[in-house]
C-alpha cells in the first residue's frame, strides 16, 4: 500500500513538473480600448458583485477583448489554461520586473492557480496536482465572483458593504490585490472614475435583473 502510494506520488510529481515546462503560446495583436466595461460572460449572480467585477475590469482591462488581455495590451489566443507569459513591466514602481498578469482581472499565474483551486466550478481534485483549470472567459468570471463572495477571503462581506453604499471601503480593501483601484502602490487613468463607473454598472445590472435579462 505504501509502495503504491509512493509510486503514485512520484508519477504525479513528474507530470506536474512536465506541466510547468514553457509552452509556446500564440500572441495576437493589441485590442482596442472601449468606453464602458463589457458585460460579464458568467451566468447570474448578485448584481452588486457583478457591477463591482465590471468596475475592477474598467481599471484593469477596459478593452474590447478583456478575457484574452496580457499586460501591455496584446492578447493570447489560447485560453485553455492561464497563459503564464511573463512580460517586462515598462513603468511604475515595479519597472523592469516581469508580470504574468492576464485576463479580464489580470490574474498573476500564482494567484490564478491559488484562487481557481478554491472557486473554479471545474477545479481539479486535490490529487490532480498536474491539472491546470480552464482560463476560458466564464471561468475567469466564476473564480472572481466566488472569491469576492467569500467573506473569509477578505475579512468582511463585500456584497453587504456594497449594499450599504460603502464602495470606497470595498475598493480600499481590494486594492492590495488590484492596485489600480486607487489605494495601492499605483493607479491609472481610470482610477478616479471608478465610483462613477460602478454606479453606471450597478444601474445596468439591477435593470437587467429586474427585466430578467441577466445572461
What is the predicted pLDDT for the residue at 149? 98
Separation between Cα atoms, residue 96 and residue 82, nearest integer Å: 22
Quick check: helix, strand or coil at residue 148? helix
* Whole-number percent of the chain with pLDDT over 90: 69
Distances (CA, A) of 42 to 38, 61, 140, 173, 196: 12, 17, 9, 24, 23
C-alpha cell at 163: 449594499
Write the CA distances from 83 to 27, 36, 74, 193, integer angstroms.
Answer: 10, 25, 12, 30
pLDDT, residue 183, reads 82
Cell of 76: 493570447
Q: How does residue 68 score in pLDDT terms, banded at 50, 70 and 90? A: very high
pLDDT at 204: 97
pTM of the shown model: 0.86
Q: What is the pLDDT of residue 214?
A: 60
Task: Give the burial string for 132-169 (b: 16+ CB within 10 Å, else e).
Answer: bbbbbbebbbbbbbbbbbeeeebeeebbebbeeeebee
Amino acid at each position: 500500500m505504501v509502495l503504491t502510494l509512493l509510486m503514485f506520488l512520484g508519477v504525479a510529481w513528474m507530470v506536474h513538473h512536465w506541466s510547468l515546462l514553457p509552452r509556446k503560446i500564440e500572441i495576437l495583436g493589441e485590442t482596442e480600448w472601449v468606453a464602458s466595461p463589457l458585460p460579464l460572460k458568467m451566468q447570474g449572480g448578485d448584481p452588486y458583485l457583478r457591477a463591482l467585477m465590471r468596475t475592477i475590469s474598467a481599471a484593469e482591462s477596459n478593452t474590447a477583448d478583456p478575457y484574452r488581455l496580457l499586460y501591455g495590451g496584446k492578447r493570447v489566443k489560447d485560453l485553455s489554461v492561464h497563459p503564464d507569459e511573463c512580460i517586462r513591466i515598462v513603468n511604475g514602481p515595479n519597472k523592469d520586473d516581469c508580470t504574468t498578469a492576464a485576463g479580464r482581472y489580470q490574474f498573476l499565474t500564482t494567484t490564478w492557480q491559488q484562487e481557481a483551486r478554491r472557486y473554479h466550478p471545474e477545479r481539479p481534485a486535490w490529487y490532480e496536482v498536474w491539472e491546470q483549470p480552464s482560463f476560458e472567459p466564464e471561468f475567469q468570471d466564476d473564480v472572481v465572483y466566488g472569491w469576492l463572495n467569500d467573506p473569509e477571503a477578505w475579512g468582511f462581506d463585500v456584497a453587504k458593504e456594497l449594499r450599504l453604499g460603502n464602495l470606497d471601503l470595498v475598493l480600499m480593501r481590494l486594492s492590495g490585490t488590484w492596485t489600480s483601484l486607487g489605494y495601492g502602490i499605483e493607479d491609472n487613468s481610470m482610477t478616479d472614475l471608478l465610483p462613477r463607473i460602478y454606479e453606471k454598472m450597478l444601474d445596468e445590472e439591477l435593470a437587467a435583473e429586474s427585466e430578467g435579462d441577466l445572461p
